[in-house]
Chain A
Amino acid sequence: MVGTQTKTDTGRAAGRRRRAPDRRPWRARLREPATGLLFVLPMLVLFVVFRFLPIAGSVGMSFTDYRINGQWDPVGLENYSRLLSDPVFLASLRVTLVYAAIYVPLTVGAALGTALLLNALVFARGLFRGVLFLPYVTSFVLAGVIWRWVYEFDGLINGLLVKFGLEPVGFLQESELVLPSLAVVAAWRGFGYSMLILLAGLKSIPTSYLEAARVDGAGTWQRFRYVVLPQLRPVLFFVLVIETIAAFQVFDTIYVMTGGGPTRASYSLVYALFDQGFQFFDFGYAATMGIGLFVVILVISLVQRWLLDRETK
């Protein structure tokens, strides 16, 4: 969350000043904590039952062979040793890394490019911003359904290719093409969000900086490289992190478009987890995969954080 940390301390300071000389009777003094707790209670119950319990359950189940019928035996670290030597899991990790390596630059590049164009525009900006953001309000399932047809042999792209006398391409049938093809769908659906964040970041760069650079004779590229990019760095980092996390959670488009194929070429981490849980009903092992997913995302985020810190020093 960027930008929400402003103005946070004034409310607290005012509250403290007002509350200092509290000589009310104990019933009145209990009223505030009691109402506070009562107001939090509904959300608290929801969090305890449907967040804290599942998180604890996830860890607990990873040490068992929990089956669909609810029966289980403790198996110690067996699931973890299986995970680290499971060729299917390791292949899904590789698929997800390759997918992220395509999806993240593609999405952030598209978002940055369109944000720069919009920022340079002096009229009709709202119109274009709205149109480019449009795919973001639709579902990945819808994107998958439309693009599955767009990629088909008698679909939009191959239709155009054939029209120009070219050979049709099996976008979802060839293992080298399936991940880029899926990344394009998710990038199309998602780039509008990062575009808006980057656009806000661009708008917050003081125009005096750009003017000063212009006066000093800096060209468009130099202004971008030495003024815009350094100023945009925190926002760009935020966008990179959220898009990376999104890439590692890819599932919906794969379910709709490829089912993990051809021959597991698009079998992602979440798809592997889903398969273990709801095709093989091996819940203990699927929960362990969930912990694997959590650790992978955590490590990637920490590495990104570390890289940013190192560069800013």
Chain B
Amino acid sequence: MTAHTQRTPQQWALVALLAVIALITVAPFLVMLLLALSPPDVQSIPQEMPSELTTDNLTGVLSSHGMVRWTLNSAIYSIASVLVILITATMAGYAFAKKRFPGRDVLLWSFLATLMVPFQAMLIPMFVLVTELDGVDTFWGLIVPTLANSQAVFLMRQFIRDLPDELFDAAKVDGASEWWVFWRLVLPLTKPILATLGVFVFLWHWNDFLWPLVVAQSDEMRTLTVGLATLHGENVTTAELMAAATVSVVPCLLVFWLLQRYLVNSITMSGLKG
């Protein structure tokens, strides 16, 4: 049977049903976009539809100091976290997968055991710790505590474990240093899984809220999620708020658009959860 002959009336009914569900799913995004493009006097969509669309809200939001600053902070928070987690988790994953050293299994399982403790249960002592280290309202105070990521270590360890030992042995016979093996063999070989992990870590941090909320308190240090949450009621129109929301979601949609394949495959394979 070819795909063409499978397009029965039943299949079309299924497509119609899914189309309705898909429309309901994206409706909130469409409303957000429509409001963001509406003139300021339009406050509600079904009753009064905008007669003309404008990009004034979007340009206004993009040129406001707060929004630019928050976007920059979110970008620094997300990108720095991705880079450091990818390197440190690959290093740890490589050691756990291919090296023998005392305490290896105990360490791995104690890393994984921290997954049982919800982040919120550690929030208060983490905040006290970062306060003691003078990390409140600094980038390192925001970023470094979120880098201990057991899922990343476990994922890298599982992937590297399945790579053939012969590859690494051959390099060592040739007298390659461990550092060379890591940069020239391990990192290139793990590229596909690094892309997946990078997408997840980026989304986790870009969408993160509770930790930035408590640790980045000043207006200058706020991330986009925290900024967006505080925009309510402060002399902003619905149109401006939705314009800000639109700006905040663009990187997620971009990442999703470009890397959907990695994201979908890894969820169906390993059950990675944000």
Contact = CB atoms under 8 A, between A and B. Distances in A.
Interface string A247-277: 0110110011000000000000010011001
A270 B238 CA distance: 29
A143 to B, nearest CB: 8
B118 A44 contact: no
Contacts of B83: none
Size category of the binding interface on chain A = 35 or more
Interface string A1-39: 111100110111011001100000000000111111111
B100 A33 contact: yes
Given A118-B18, A274-B210, A277-B124, A188 B25 contact: yes
B44 A290 contact: no
A74 interface: no
Given A39-B92, A43-B148, A128-B18, A277 B162 contact: no
Contact of B120 (A43, A118, A290): A290
Contacts of B132: 70
Nearest to A30: B101
Nearest to B269: A3
Contact of A273 (B19, B110, B111, B123): B123
Interface stretch (A80-88, A196-204, A211-219, A303-311): A196-204
Contacts of A37: 95, 101
A141 B99 contact: no
A46 B88 contact: yes
Contacts of B27: 156
B118 A297 contact: yes
A39 B182 contact: yes
A287 B100 contact: no
Nearest to A44: B107
A39 B11 contact: no
Contacts of A70: 128, 131-132
Interface string B247-274: 0110011011000100110011111111
Contacts of A293: 118, 120-121
Interface residues of B, number: 108
Interface string A101-136: 000000000000010011011111000111111110
Interface string B158-191: 1001100100010000000010001000000000
A242 interface: yes
Nearest to B130: A50
B80 interface: no
A55 B150 CA distance: 15
B270 A2 contact: yes
Contacts, number: 307
Nearest to B268: A200
B142 interface: no
B21 interface: yes
Contacts of B97: 11
Interface string A149-167: 1101011100110110000
B207 A283 contact: no
B169 A18 contact: yes
8 contacts: A2-B270, A40-B101, A129-B264, A135-B28, A137-B252, A142-B228, A188-B25, A193-B273
Q: Can you list the 10 inter-chain pairs with the closest CB atoms, starting with the nearest?
A: A36-B99, A57-B125, A139-B207, A36-B101, A159-B46, A200-B268, A290-B121, A39-B95, A33-B101, A43-B92
Given A139-B207, A193-B267, 15 more contacts: A11-B162, A32-B100, A37-B95, A42-B88, A55-B114, A58-B122, A121-B18, A123-B6, A131-B25, A139-B252, A145-B242, A159-B47, A188-B28, A252-B209, A274-B214
Interface of B: 3, 6-7, 11, 14-15, 17-19, 21-22, 25-29, 31-32, 35, 43-47, 88-89, 91-92, 94-102, 104, 107, 110-111, 114, 116-129, 131-132, 144-148, 150, 153-154, 158, 161-162, 165, 169, 178, 182, 203, 206-210, 213-214, 225-226, 228-229, 231-232, 238, 241-242, 245, 248-249, 252-253, 255-256, 260, 263-264, 267-274
